[in-house]
Structure 1
Amino acid sequence: MSGPDGEYAASALRPYVITKGRSRPTRNTVGIEALLIAADPPRELPVSATREERALVRMCERLLSLVEAAAHLELPVSLVKVLASDLVDSGHLNARSSIPQAVLPESQLLQEVLDGLRRLR
């Protein structure tokens, strides 16, 4: 779906059709840093599911980041974010945050590291 120079080659209409006319998820917002995995036990997709939704669920049988999924599908991350959010809402995918909030360092520590690095110049 991408052109020889790596740019998205499909028309603007195609992403609009894939997301059923939406540019944002309806409820569940999956972040771009999210890790996706198919529901266990697997749930059958409805007949109306798009080939992109089917491919996304299939590739998420193993843990996969949203950005990696977008690269494999050769679709914009924003579009895959809408698809993934819909599939989380319907119970076909589970989304996990890649970095738990409790593990993030404090901003003061980050500032001290930055200041130390600047002194090394």
Structure 2
Amino acid sequence: MITAAADDGPWLDEQAGRLVRPYTVSNGRTRPTADLDLLTHVTAAGRPATGHPGPEHARALALARAPVTVAELAARLRLPVAVTKVVVSDLVEAGLVLAEAPSYQHAPTDPAVLRQVRDELRRRL
């Protein structure tokens, strides 16, 4: 049985999962053009979108009305981080979002930082 929920974006099949593969969202691209990491804060620039952004781009833009990290966007969009970074890069290039690199007091691979990201994601989801 194929079902679609308003907040799930692409069509889903209960057993097969997504019917639209994640890399279709990014037109097969695997590398973002903007320098982004998991903790980069993304915020909508307040400009109206021109043209017709894809559904994931539109959802990412809507989620970025308030500052959100790339990691949180990936979780909420239910997309791999690599695909989410390409989507965010597209929005940055179009001037629709601002991406602010985090300021680290510790290295981004520091286990304490990674635990903090994990705990924050769990709290929000």
Q: Same fold (TM over 0.5)?
A: yes
Matches within 5 A, 1:33-48: 33-39=39-45, 42-48=46-52
3-state SS of 1:29 partner: coil
Q: Which amino acid aligns with 1:78?
A: A
Assess, with a 3 A threshold, how the Cα gap between structure 1 residues 82 and 73 changes in structure 2: closer, same or farther. same
Report whether the alignment pairs 1:18 with 2:25: yes
What are the superposed Cα offsets for residues 22-51 of structure 1, whole Å, 9 maximum, x if unpaired? 1112x3221122011111xx1222333101
Structure 1 moving runs of 4+ over 6 Å: none
CA distance in 2, matches of 1:68, 1:54: 16
Q: Which runs of no fewer than 5 residues in structure 2 stay unpaired?
A: 1-7, 108-125
CA-based RMSD of the aligned residues comes to 2.4
TM-score when normalising by structure 1: 0.67
- Identify the structure with the greater helix proportion: 1
3-state SS of 1:99 partner: coil
Percent identity, aligned pairs only, is: 27
TM-score when normalising by structure 2: 0.65
- Identify the structure with the greater strand proportion: 2
Report whether the alignment pairs 1:58 with 2:62: yes
CA distance in 1, matches of 2:13, 2:65: 28
2:98 matched to which residue of 1? 94
Matches within 5 A, 1:68-83: 68-83=72-87
For residue 97 of structure 1, report the CA deviation from its aligned partner: 1.6
1:117 matched to which residue of 2? none
Q: Which runs of no fewer than 5 residues in structure 1 stay unpaired?
A: 106-121
1:85 matched to which residue of 2? 89
Equivalenced residue count is: 96
